[in-house]
């Protein structure tokens, strides 16, 4: 397999992300502007290398025809530790590196704000979210009532269902009758909205 330099990986991921977010490929000028290359030729040289190594295809003399090939590497999605699906605690989310998840096969288009947390606890079993599962979340997405969210409630972290009823402040609902509904005393901060779930095989 033809390996990529760090910069080539960054250019490939920018092309992939632009295609996912906008539905069209970036132009060479947009690539040059994004990476602050001194010339469009520098962007063209990077794309030419990616083509030669088999990571992208393009049609000559036509704009926005870049496509990432199916054999292109999947770049890691950040794994920010674990999150309680039980009673909230003061666990801090610290990066544990990345996971090379093929989210496209799940129908998920990852962005720069996509991240993953490992589930601890059984408060969400009513939504088929089990201990050890990986929840894929999108930071900055506005939650709707019924969405599963990673949240800080009074500065403690938890994974619950977001509930917003007319005329009432939002709260968090467990999907297991053993756990209470959570109402913030002071603050409720949504860190991410769940967009997917990955279940790892257990021995």
Cα–Cα distance for residue pair 68/51, rounded to 1 Å: 9
Last-in-domain residue among 49, 68, 87: 68
Question: Are residues 47 and 19 both part of a single domain?
Answer: yes
Phi-psi region of 132 (alpha: psi -120 to 50; beta: other; left: phi over 0): left
Q: Is there a domain that residue 1 lies in?
A: no
Q: Which residues are designated catalytic?
A: 123, 160
Question: Are residues 61 and 111 both part of a single domain?
Answer: no
Cα–Cα distance for residue pair 151/157, rounded to 1 Å: 6
Structure tokens at 18: 């632009």
Whichever domain contains 53, its CATH number is: 1.10.10.10
137 φ/ψ angles, rounded to the nearest 5 degrees: -125, 155
Q: What is the pTM of this model?
A: 0.62
Whichever domain contains 170, its CATH number is: 2.10.109.10
Domain span holding position 109: 77-198
For residue 130, give Cα distances in angstroms to 31, 127, 178, 196: 41, 9, 15, 13
Number of compact structural domains in the chain: 2
Contact in structure between 162 and 145 (CB atoms under 8 Å): yes
- Helix (H) or strand (E) segment spanning residue 78: strand 77-84
Q: Is there a domain that residue 203 lies in?
A: no
Instruction: Give residues with Cβ within 8 angstroms of 83, minimum separation 6.
Output: 91, 93, 117, 118, 119, 120, 135, 150, 157, 158, 159
pLDDT per position in the chain (203 positions), as tens? 457 788 888 888 888 888 877 778 899 999 999 999 989 999 999 999 988 888 888 877 677 778 887 655 555 677 777 888 766 665 555 545 556 666 666 667 777 688 889 999 999 999 999 999 999 998 888 999 999 999 999 989 999 999 998 889 999 999 999 999 999 999 999 999 999 998 876 55
């Amino acid at each position: 397999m033809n390996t990529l330099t760090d910069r080539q990986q960054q250019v490939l991921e920018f092309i992939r992300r632009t295609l996912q977010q906008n539905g069209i490929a970036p132009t060479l000028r947009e690539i040059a502007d994004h990476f602050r290359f001194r010339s469009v030729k520098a962007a063209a040289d990077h794309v030419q290398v990616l083509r030669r190594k088999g990571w992208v295809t393009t049609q000559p003399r036509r704009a926005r025809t870049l496509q990432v090939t199916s054999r292109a590497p999947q770049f890691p999605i950040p794994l920010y530790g674990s999150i309680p699906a039980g009673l909230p605690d003061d666990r801090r989310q610290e990066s544990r590196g990345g996971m090379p998840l093929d989210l496209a096969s799940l129908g998920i288009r990852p962005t720069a704000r996509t991240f993953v947390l490992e589930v601890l606890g059984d408060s969400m079993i009513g939504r088929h979210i089990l201990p050890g599962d990986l929840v894929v979340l999108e930071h900055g997405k506005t939650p709707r009532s019924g969405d599963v969210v990673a949240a800080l409630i009074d500065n403690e972290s938890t994974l619950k269902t977001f509930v917003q009823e007319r005329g009432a402040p939002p709260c968090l609902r467990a999907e297991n009758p053993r756990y209470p509904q959570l109402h913030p005393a002071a603050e409720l901060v949504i860190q991410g909205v769940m967009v997917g779930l990955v279940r790892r095989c257990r021995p």
